[in-house]
């Protein structure tokens, strides 16, 4: 049984409630034309899936996915130019540019080490299936639906390859066999605890005892399988309790900078930055009336578009919280033109979302209209937390003020703080065709401030 069988059946049962034009957009990559077209033909039989692009090499995959912005990438492991791990490396690059993209890896290798390597880098939204079994039943369909919502899936043969060598001749009880099976399927500790009606701590203890029993009875041939199981277990624990690895946990560029400089926890630096915060106007009303599955897809597309705009202008994505986005310009790498970059990004976010809204309108979906705030000033930037959980944080009045300013912005508008406005006045116009067109707002009292705040609305960023 696949780890997501019950969830997959629930999703299938709900397909009839999703309009036909709300299909999962899939990008398919395999250097073998016959395999690629065969998988494409198979996917065409699913009523809720459509293939929007194909590729036969690493570069075609990265470029094609960048243009098509799929919800799910289905890829082979080995492809040109070097026939090594191009598919997995390309998938990582796509995920970096488009967070939330689901990845289904199709492989002809049933070696568990490949699957463990994939899961060890954060399994949320990843599936690993074997090519010679994708036509059996609906395994590929369910994998695509699973990763679309952030789930993960392992081929049953991989699970069997993990379990059988480690458990043969060990005298495991049926209960221990069931626990070992769930572990090999890559299930999180919390999910196992729920299914067994106990606590994650009890499950952790049970797994440790299970490993001890396997180790005591393990033959030389079972030692390798036991090692793989322990690696898989560690990957699950790391993902669930510690989050993802440093490079994935911290915003883009920060992990590399921290490694290079040898920075320590709690060590701060003072930087002058411009903070950007955006929020979807009327999101609560949209969510109240929306199909949750479709709304999740809309949020995923929205976040990918915002992420693209921020990274394209040298910004750092700090966090996505619900329908809000926070980014910073000038940290962790200082930049003298941080205010300009932030303003160009705000324009790109509005324009990018307008294009997404136009696509959604053709499907009868509600538009997301953004209110954006920009605030410039000094902040203390620090790596806070512990070795188990790290967070790159900005502390300062500019961060708090940005949150207040974005609340003043109607859909399509961008509000600037006084320091941001002054920084932009001293810089060349950021847009072709002229300088800024701004409207000074009446000084306004905001929460947390003793004196009224002067802010500016940019007419050029307000849709006609």
Domain-wise residue ranges, the chain:
5-241, 248-461
pLDDT of residue 347: 92
Q: Please check whether the domain covering 248-461 is classified as CATH 1.25.40.10.
A: no
- If one compares 16 and 292, the residue with the highest pLDDT of the two is 292
- If one compares 160 and 100, the residue with the highest pLDDT of the two is 100
| pLDDT digit string, tens, across residues 98-144 | 766 888 888 776 555 556 555 555 445 677 787 776 766 678 888 88
Spatial CA neighbour of 372 closest among 456, 429, 265: 456
Residue 240 pLDDT grade (very low, low, confident, very high; cuts 50, 70, 90): very low
| pLDDT at position 267 over 90 | no
pLDDT of residue 8: 36
CA distance 149 to 382: 32
pLDDT of residue 21: 47
* Number of alpha carbons in the 13 Å side-chain half-sphere of residue 86: 19
pLDDT of residue 273: 96
What class, spelled out in words, does domain 5-241 have in CATH?
alpha beta
Tokens of 367: 């538009």
Q: Are 177 and 151 in contact (CB under 8 A)?
A: no
Q: Is 79 left (phi over 0), alpha (psi -120 to 50) or beta?
A: beta
Tokens of 252: 């883009």
């Amino acid at each position: 049984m696949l780890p997501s069988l019950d969830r997959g059946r629930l999703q299938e049962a709900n397909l009839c409630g999703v309009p036909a034009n709300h299909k999962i957009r899939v990008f398919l990559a395999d250097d073998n034309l016959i395999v690629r077209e065969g998988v494409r033909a198979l996917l065409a039989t699913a009523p809720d899936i459509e293939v929007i692009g194909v590729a036969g090499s690493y570069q075609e995959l990265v470029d094609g996915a960048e243009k098509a912005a799929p919800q799910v990438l289905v890829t082979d492991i080995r492809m040109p130019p070097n026939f090594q791990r191009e598919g997995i490396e390309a998938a990582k690059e796509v995920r970096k540019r488009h967070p939330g993209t689901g990845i289904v890896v199709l492989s002809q290798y049933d070696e568990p080490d490949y699957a463990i390597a994939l899961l060890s880098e954060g399994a949320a939204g990843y599936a690993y299936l074997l090519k010679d079994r994708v036509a059996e039943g609906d395994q590929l369909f369910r994998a695509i639906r699973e990763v679309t919502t952030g789930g993960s899936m392992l081929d049953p043969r991989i699970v069997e390859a993990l379990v059988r060598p480690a458990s043969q001749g060990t005298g495991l009880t049926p209960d221990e066999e069931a626990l070992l099976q769930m572990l090999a399927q890559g299930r999180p500790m919390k999910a196992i605890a729920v299914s067994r009606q106990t606590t994650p701590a009890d499950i952790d203890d049970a797994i440790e005892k299970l490993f001890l029993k396997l180790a005591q009875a393990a033959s030389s041939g079972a030692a390798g399988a036991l090692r793989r199981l322990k690696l898989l277990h560690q990957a699950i624990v790391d993902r669930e309790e510690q989050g993802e690895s440093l490079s994935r946990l911290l915003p883009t560029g920060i992990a590399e900078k921290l490694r290079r400089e040898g920075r320590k926890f709690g060590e701060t630096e003072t930087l002058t930055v411009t903070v950007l915060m955006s929020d979807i106007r009327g999101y609560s009303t949209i969510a109240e009336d929306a199909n949750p599955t479709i709304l999740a897809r809309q949020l995923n597309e929205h976040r990918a578009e915002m992420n693209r705009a921020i990274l394209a202008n040298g910004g750092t994505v700090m966090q996505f919280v619900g329908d809000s986005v926070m980014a910073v310009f000038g940290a962790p790498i200082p930049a003298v033109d941080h205010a300009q970059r932030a303003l160009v990004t705000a324009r790109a976010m509005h324009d990018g979302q307008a294009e997404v809204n136009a696509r959604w309108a053709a499907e009868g979906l509600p538009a997301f209209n953004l209110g954006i705030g920009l605030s410039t000033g000094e902040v203390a930037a620090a790596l806070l937390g512990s070795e188990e959980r790290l967070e790159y944080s900005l502390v300062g009045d500019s961060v708090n003020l940005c949150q207040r300013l974005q609340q003043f912005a109607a859909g399509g508008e961008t509000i600037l703080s006084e320091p941001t406005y002054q920084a932009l006045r001293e810089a060349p116009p950021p847009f072709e065709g002229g300088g800024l067109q701004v409207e000074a707002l009446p000084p306004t009292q905001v929460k947390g401030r003793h004196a009224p705040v002067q802010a500016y609305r940019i007419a050029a960023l307000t849709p006609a």
